[in-house]
Structure 1
Amino acid sequence: MDWNYLRTFQAVADTGSLAAAAAKLSISHATAFRHIKAFESELGARLFEKVQGKYSLTDAGADILDLSSTVAVAMEDIDRRVSGTDVQLKGRIRLTAPASFSGHFLPGCLAGFRQDYPDITVELLCSNEELNMSNRAAEIALRVTHTPPDHLIGRKVADIPWGLYASPDYLAQKGTPRSAGDLAQHDLIGGAGALTRRDGFARIDRELRDRVVVRSDDLMTMAAFACRGLGLALLPADVARGGLKRVMCFDAMPDNQLWLLTHPDLRNVARVRCMMQFLDRAFRKDPEFTSP
């Protein structure tokens, strides 16, 4: 059983309100609701009745509250003992990030972090998928999104612009386009699959389909094509590394947003807070990104 379910149950019982319990625990209303529903599902019993807007304990809920008091005392004692280690800048941090950042930006960044904090070990998990951070699969998530999950906390650390990129060899052979009109004289790397539905790639297909020489449904593969001199590729700045040159911006694609996120329960863990602050500063200094 998740200790967070019991804490949320007690907070709702004490306050008689889901919103007040959420505020007391510094979690979202939706998270508090999920905790109660999951707790009831595990126990196979309804714990509250909502009467005139107030959450009142059922008979089963009252029984559980009596039993939970002893458990709560024990768990709080454990929390106090463990919290002593949370103020130390040592231990392991699991960071999950998209492959584009894991391969290009983070190695150098984490090398600097290692120099400053040699007692913290970083485990980097390359993934674009949303993780259930409630089960501690990772402590920190770096995600490109416009809608970060409401059960996590954090901040937007950068805006990531899109542009048309090419290799120096390609530009030496074919020249550098100076305007959108010049693109009709250049080879283009087009999107495939789901990418074709995005505005920028759809515009290329509408206006310059006959200039597309190769396609892919993966941005990192498109960047690899561009690095080999196959043509110009429409890419976000985090993917367009490895010597590619941006030849022009592309207004049809709005900036991506980069978010640095963690679970609310981990906000005061020293090593987590330290890494989030370090990464925040690093992204704000990077010339390829725009500070929010």
Structure 2
Amino acid sequence: MDWDRLRIFHAVADAGSLTHAGDVLHLSQSAVSRQIRSLEDELNATLFHRHARGLILTEQGELLFDATRHMAKRLDAAAARIRDSEEEVFGELRVTTTIGFGSLWLAPRLPALYEKYPNLKIDLMLEERVLDLPMREADVAIRMKEPSQADLIRKRLMNIRMRLYASPQYLEQNGVPQTLDDLRDHRLISQNATAAQVSSGALLVRQLMSYEIGSFLTVNNYFGVLQGVIHHLGIGVLPDYLTQDFPNLVRVLDTVESNDVPVFLAYPEELRQSKRIEAFREFVTEEIIAHRRKERDGNV
């Protein structure tokens, strides 16, 4: 099968248009159309349904597009390994983690990484869905549980716990609860227990909801929960790593907390020699060590 035709087919399937694919490939629409017809003749199959608004893949076209997608990802991985044979750290690094950890802990620390490696480009993908690292949906992940996918290198970074926090202003206006039963006089801000989040956090929320709570505000990520807390809306269920960057948070009901939530860094085995991965791993490790040191000094 002709590699160049496959490349053109992949571009057309991705763009859904001969014209847009031609723009990407720097080919005329007629040249792209000829190559697609030649590929269909070679396979004796129709790959696209053609209509006025563009192109739709046929069942046979979907099968071929799935194959070319996998090929493209493997080629990207090979190109990354070739580029990373150089000593210089540069190029794109796709990092995935949760919305809360990425926006509240990782992103504020990235200036130090860019200062050290100005030619590095971070593509930060924040979502609760676990991206497939072996299939190169991302290069490296920070996850709130040990990854289960095979062929991954993993490093345990730290443990966190979910606890209850409020702003001084909220507590001044509404009082400080002394027991869980006192939550009947307060608003609880948390992720919904059924939302995608760390299991220990969901368990803590379910336990709290078994008590009579005065009012609720649920948000689908910890960044939103924090915004509610710092704007004096109520008592929030938040990860304990926030206390260093938000020192005005006041912990409420000191005995109430989740079990340990492990934080792991993971990346594909095939990127073991990647200079970008190495630089990012060392950066995160150094930041974790600094975080722990500040935490320890603050408890002395």
Q: How far apart are 1:222 and its partner, in Å?
A: 3.0
Cα distance, 1:107–1:223 mapped onto 2, change above 3 Å: closer
The aligned counterpart of 1:132 is: 132
Cα distance, 1:230–1:288 mapped onto 2, change above 3 Å: farther
8 Å contact from structure 2 (residues 99, 222) kept in 1 = no
How many pairs were matched up?
213
Deviation by residue 1:229-283 (Cα, 9 ceiling, x = unmatched)? 2221222235775953323445452121111111101111122112111111212
243-252 vs 122-131, which moves further: 243-252
Deviation by residue 1:141-183 (Cα, 9 ceiling, x = unmatched)? 1111145433311211011111111122102223334554654
Residue 276 of structure 2 corresponds to residue 271 of structure 1 = yes
The aligned counterpart of 1:165 is: 165
8 Å contact from structure 2 (residues 104, 223) kept in 1 = no
Deviation by residue 1:5-29 (Cα, 9 ceiling, x = unmatched)? xxxxxxxxxxxxxxxxxxxxxxxxx
Amino acid at match of 1:95: V
Amino acid at match of 1:286: H
Unmatched tracts of structure 1, length 5 or more: 1-74
Aligned with 2:286 (options 281, 285, 291): 281
Alignment of 1:1-292 (within 5 A): 82=82, 85-178=85-178, 180=180, 182-183=182-183, 185-189=185-189, 192=192, 194=194, 198-206=202-210, 208-216=211-219, 218-238=221-241, 243-251=248-256, 253-287=258-292
CA distance in 2, matches of 1:113, 1:223: 25
Amino acid at match of 1:233: G
Deviation by residue 1:48-77 (Cα, 9 ceiling, x = unmatched)? xxxxxxxxxxxxxxxxxxxxxxxxxxx9xx
CA distance in 2, matches of 1:135, 1:276: 20
2:273 partner SS = coil
Cα distance, 1:285–1:232 mapped onto 2, change above 3 Å: same
8 Å contact from structure 2 (residues 162, 201) kept in 1 = no
Amino acid at match of 2:252: V
8 Å contact from structure 1 (residues 86, 271) kept in 2 = no
Q: How far apart are 1:139 and its partner, in Å?
A: 1.4
Cα distance, 1:289–1:161 mapped onto 2, change above 3 Å: farther
1:286 partner SS = helix
8 Å contact from structure 1 (residues 193, 217) kept in 2 = no
Deviation by residue 1:86-136 (Cα, 9 ceiling, x = unmatched)? 433222211112111222222332100111122222221222222222343
8 Å contact from structure 1 (residues 86, 269) kept in 2 = no
8 Å contact from structure 2 (residues 181, 212) kept in 1 = no
2:128 partner SS = coil
Cα distance, 1:187–1:108 mapped onto 2, change above 3 Å: closer
CA distance in 1, matches of 2:295, 2:192: 28
Aligned CA RMSD, in angstroms, stands at 3.5
Cα distance, 1:219–1:113 mapped onto 2, change above 3 Å: closer
CA distance in 2, matches of 1:244, 1:89: 38
Cα distance, 1:228–1:194 mapped onto 2, change above 3 Å: same
Amino acid at match of 1:232: I
1:199 partner SS = helix
Cα distance, 1:148–1:165 mapped onto 2, change above 3 Å: farther
2:278 partner SS = helix
Q: Percent identity?
A: 22
CA distance in 1, matches of 2:293, 2:194: 26
